[in-house]
Amino acid sequence: MMQSTPSGLHNVPMAEIQDAEYTIDQLAGVTGMTVRNIRAHQSRGLLPPPAVRGRTGYYGPEHVARIRMIVEMQADGFNLNAIHRLLASTAPGTATRALDFGRSLREPWEDETTEFVEAEELAGRMGAPGPDPKLLAQAARLGIIAPGAEERWEVLSPALLRAGEALVSLGIPIEAGLRVQEKLDRYADGIARAFVAMFVEEVWGPFEAAGKPEADWPRVQEALDRLRPLAVEAVNATFRRSMSKAVEAEAGRMITRQAKPARPPRERRERRVRHRRERA
């Protein structure tokens, strides 16, 4: 049954239009795409033809999902050729599944809200007497901050900035914290690639090789959704275990050093001289 829909409903959830049918003008209103572009995409093979009854063509949820995929992928920088290849591999009737999966795939893992601060305030929070171009550049390179307008800075990760402030309050210079963060980024990148590779090899690869059957979409979607908390939980548990080992090992070395009697300065100098002579 045809459903008359007003324009401007680009963000209507797909679940609410599962049984809807649209003329091309109504489809333009639902998707926010012009009639001209809809016809152009159809001629390129990006959209399937409408169901024709009488002299009128009717479009359904599959067309809405495909148009939304086109718009979102173009916003992500994909050209029409790449989008055409993806849609050509999407089985008829599964565009809604593919759209939902694509949105889940691109959903950010972090949920921080950025904030803007003046350069002087940012310097104070970093433990510096004033804006230090070198420190600011290093923090920007690590993705913690980004330059904004009017000598303000956008804090991309308030959590990391708060961690840096805590280090400064403990008497640890922010430079040391940034060096550690640089190492954390490298290790985290490797961990992230390992989880992505596991998903591709064990879930997406076999699914794609099977032709992305409709019946398997829920399983693939569930695997992606569950991977997020599982990955975070695994990383946290592994890090806690590694920290326990590292602290325990260093504590043992610290206690051993404390237990050793201190050598007199002259004896230490003579020992260094003998050591150099032996090496020579």
pLDDT in tens, 231-264: 999 999 999 999 999 888 888 777 777 766 655 5
Q: Please determine, looking at this structure, whether the domain spanning 14-106 carries the CATH number 1.10.1660.10.
A: yes
Average pLDDT over all residues of the chain: 84
Contact yes or no for 21/60 (Cβ under 8 A): yes
Query: Do 14-106 and 115-181 have matching folds?
Result: no
Quote the CA–CA distance of 35 and 53 in Å, as a whole number.
19
Between CA 26 and CA 33, with CA 30 as vertex, the angle to 5 degrees is 90
pLDDT for residue 267 is more than 70: no
Contact yes or no for 188/180 (Cβ under 8 A): no
3 pLDDT band (50/70/90 cuts)?
very low
pLDDT for residue 266 is more than 80: no
Q: What pLDDT is stored for residue 4 in this prediction?
A: 38
Span 207-236, average pLDDT: 91
Between the CA of residue 169 and those of 16, 77, 102, 109, 236, what are the distances in Å?
52, 43, 43, 29, 25
Domain boundaries, the chain: 14-106, 115-181, 213-280
Span 218-230, average pLDDT: 91
Quote the CA–CA distance of 90 and 228 in Å, as a whole number.
25
- Tokens linked to 27: 């489809």
Quote the CA–CA distance of 164 and 6 in Å, as a whole number.
51
Q: 115-181 — its CATH code?
A: 1.10.10
pLDDT for residue 30 is more than 90: no
pLDDT in tens, 93-110: 777 788 778 778 777 777
Contact yes or no for 122/114 (Cβ under 8 A): no
For residue 1, give every residue at least 6 positions away whose Cβ sits within 8 Å of its Cβ, in sequence order, or none.
19, 21
Between CA 92 and CA 102, with CA 97 as vertex, the angle to 5 degrees is 115
pTM of the model: 0.65
Quote the CA–CA distance of 24 and 181 in Å, as a whole number.
53
Contact yes or no for 57/51 (Cβ under 8 A): yes
265 pLDDT band (50/70/90 cuts)?
low
pLDDT in tens, 45-78: 889 899 999 889 999 888 998 898 888 888 888 8
